[in-house]
Amino acid sequence: MRQTPVRLPYLLIGTLIALLIGALIAAPAQITQAQTTTTTAIPTSTPVFTPTATLPILVVTPASGCYAPLQLRIGGLVVVTGGVNVRATPSVSGVLLNYFAEEKLVRLIDGPVCANGYNWWRVAGVGEPGWVIEGTPGRYLMEQAPDPGTTGCFPAREGIAVGGQVRAITGSRVRDAADPGALVITVAPPGSLMTVLEGPRCWNGLNWYRVRTRYQVTETLIEGWVGEGYPGEYWIVGGVGAASTPLPCAHPLSWRAGTRAAISYGDGVPRRLRAEPSVSGALVLELLDGVAFEVIDGSAVCSGGYNWWHVRILTTGITGWIAEGTPGRYWVELIVR
Does residue 105 lie within any of the structural domains?
yes
pLDDT > 90: percent of the chain = 30
Does residue 63 lie within any of the structural domains?
no
Phi-psi region of 116 (alpha: psi -120 to 50; beta: other; left: phi over 0): left
The total of structural domains in the chain comes to 3
Report the CATH number that the domain containing residue 290 is assigned in CATH.
2.30.30.40
**Is the CB of residue 126 less than 8 Å from the CB of residue 146?**
no
Strands 229-230 and 184-188: unpaired
Assess whether 277 and 225 both reside in one domain.
Answer: no
CA distance 178 to 170: 18
Does residue 9 lie within any of the structural domains?
no
Query: Which whole number is the average pLDDT over 12-29?
Result: 59
119 pLDDT more than 90: yes
Does residue 56 lie within any of the structural domains?
no
Does residue 24 lie within any of the structural domains?
no
Which one has a higher pLDDT value, 265 or 166? 166
pLDDT in tens, 275-296: 999 877 888 998 998 999 999 9
Does residue 89 lie within any of the structural domains?
yes
State the amino acid at position 176 in one-letter form.
D
Half-sphere exposure of 225 (CA within 13 A, CB side): 23
Burial class (CB in 10 A: 0-12, 13-18, 19+), 213: buried
The last residue of one of the domains, among 122, 144, 166, is 144
Q: What are phi and psi of 244, to 5 degrees?
A: -95, -25
**Is the CB of residue 309 less than 8 Å from the CB of residue 294?**
no
**Is the CB of residue 332 less than 8 Å from the CB of residue 261?**
yes
The last residue of one of the domains, among 88, 120, 144, is 144
Does residue 23 lie within any of the structural domains?
no
pLDDT in tens, 239-275: 654 444 455 677 899 999 999 999 988 766 788 899 9
pTM of the model: 0.36
Assess whether 138 and 85 both reside in one domain.
Answer: yes
Which band of pLDDT confidence, cut at 50, 70 and 90, is reported for residue 138?
A: confident
CA distance 336 to 211: 40
Burial class (CB in 10 A: 0-12, 13-18, 19+), 232: exposed
CA distance 28 to 33: 9
Q: Which domain holds residue 236?
A: 150-244
Does residue 101 lie within any of the structural domains?
yes
Assess whether 214 and 159 both reside in one domain.
Answer: yes
Other Cβ atoms closer than 10 A to 294 = 18
Report the CATH number that the domain containing residue 158 is assigned in CATH.
2.30.30
pLDDT in tens, 48-88: 444 444 444 344 455 558 999 998 888 888 889 888 999 99
Assess whether 291 and 222 both reside in one domain.
Answer: no
239: Cβ–Cβ under 8 A, 6 or more apart, which residues?
Answer: 164, 165, 166, 167, 193
The last residue of one of the domains, among 99, 116, 144, is 144
Task: Identify which of 59-63, 96-100, 195-199, 315-319 has the greatest average pLDDT.
Answer: 315-319
The distance of Cα 220 from the centroid of its chain, to the nearest Å, equals 28
Which one has a higher pLDDT value, 94 or 181? 94
